[in-house]
Amino acid sequence: MQQFNCPFCGTRDQSEFTYGREVAPVPALDASPADWQRFVYERDNPCGAHAEWWHHNHGCRQWLEIVRDTLTHEVLEIKAARRSKERA
Amino acid sequence: MLERRSALAAHPLVNPANRADLSTAGTVRVTLSERPTLSILQVSAFAQTADAAGIYLAGALELELPAANRFSGDLRKSVRAIGPGIWQIVGDDGAVPEAAAIRATLAGVATVVDLSHARAAFQVSGAAAARTLAKHCGLDLYTPKFPTGSATNTRFGHIGMTLARIDDAPTFELLVFRGYAEFVFESLVEAAEEFGLLILT
Ligand SMILES: [Zn+2]
């Protein structure tokens, strides 16, 4: 089984995680329908490195940002999606 | 406080007369029991306040703050670090503070939810306890990877659980959604039967 090395929980089976979507800036609430259309429905679907949000729903329950190779499934990068304290 | 009730109160196997075929004539390698009177509080801090919440919490409980996916304390009163800024306080009624008291201590830095009535607690103990759980859980439960003092959220079959290893027997404690208590209990009975099972109720 594919495994992800969660920055909080360590290496866990992929079945503990739920795929969210590709990483993209969330449009403002009053953004145009065209912008929302693009955000909700349109995907680049690259062959290779792909930045994705995953939820560790059966673990620490944090959202993670994973850069995953869609051809080889290799995880190139994994980090917490939550911004750190400097945002406060 | 509402009265605590066993999540298995209506289950036939709780009556020893109904489990005569689960004979323990051979060696018992797994002991299974429910702990129906646990007090469970979940504390969730904000990203900016997680450090402060941890310090206040440790002070209020008079326990050391555990590292990630570990617990400190004992069966009577423990605190478990199950996510960044997320802790569960687990223990006996009376030993664990009231939710309102912890909420007051952590006002402005964390939220506190009383999960006592939302979870069922099981203990699986003995030489084959890890092999029993391995049928439903993908974690490596053996000593180097999951030593006594470990506590984490993970999977039991298709549902989530909070799993802790509380002693070297080894004894594992499972906290699961209360609505799934009978499913978990029956799954554990079936998983443990081949190893020699003793149910304590
Ligand atoms: Zn995690």
Phi-psi domain of B196 (left: phi exceeds 0; alpha: psi -120 through 50; beta: other): left
Give the DSSP H or E segment for B190.
Answer: helix B181-192
Q: Does B68 lie at the interface with A, CB-CB under 8 angstroms? A: yes
Say what the ipTM of the complex is. 0.86
Q: Which residues contact B101 (CB under 8 A, 6 or more apart)?
A: B60
Instruction: Check if the beta carbon of residue B154 is closer than 8 Å to that of residue B145.
Output: no
The architecture CATH gives domain B38-114? 2-Layer Sandwich (3.30)
Give the DSSP H or E segment for B55.
Answer: helix B50-61
**C-alpha to C-alpha distances, A66 to A56, A84, A86, B30, B153, nearest whole angstrom:** 11, 17, 22, 39, 20
A83 or B56, which is more confident: B56
Q: Report the pLDDT averaged over residues A29-56.
A: 95
Considering the entire predicted model, what is its pTM?
Answer: 0.92
User: In chain B, what residues touch A1 (CB-CB under 8 Å)?
Assistant: 138
Predicted pLDDT of residue A34: 97
- B72 token code pair: 């400190």
Q: How many CB atoms lie within 10 A of CB B172?
A: 24
C-alpha distance from A13 to closest chain B C-alpha (Å): 7
Predicted pLDDT of residue B3: 81
User: In chain B, what residues touch A13 (CB-CB under 8 Å)?
Assistant: 138, 155
Say whether the peptide bond before residue B170 is cis (omega within 30 degrees of 0).
Answer: yes
The architecture CATH gives domain B12-36+118-199? 2-Layer Sandwich (3.30)
Task: Please list the pLDDT of chain B residue by residue as tens digits (201 residues).
Answer: 678 889 999 899 888 888 877 766 678 999 999 999 899 999 999 989 999 999 999 999 999 999 999 999 999 999 999 999 999 999 999 999 999 999 999 999 999 999 999 999 999 999 999 999 999 999 999 888 999 999 999 999 999 999 999 999 999 999 999 999 999 999 999 999 999 999 987
- Residue to test with chain B: of A2, A9, A11, A82, most B Cβ within 10 A: A9
Give the DSSP H or E segment for B8.
Answer: none
Q: How many CB atoms lie within 10 A of CB B136?
A: 18
Please state the domain extents for chain B. 12-36+118-199, 38-114
- What class is the A3-87 domain? alpha beta
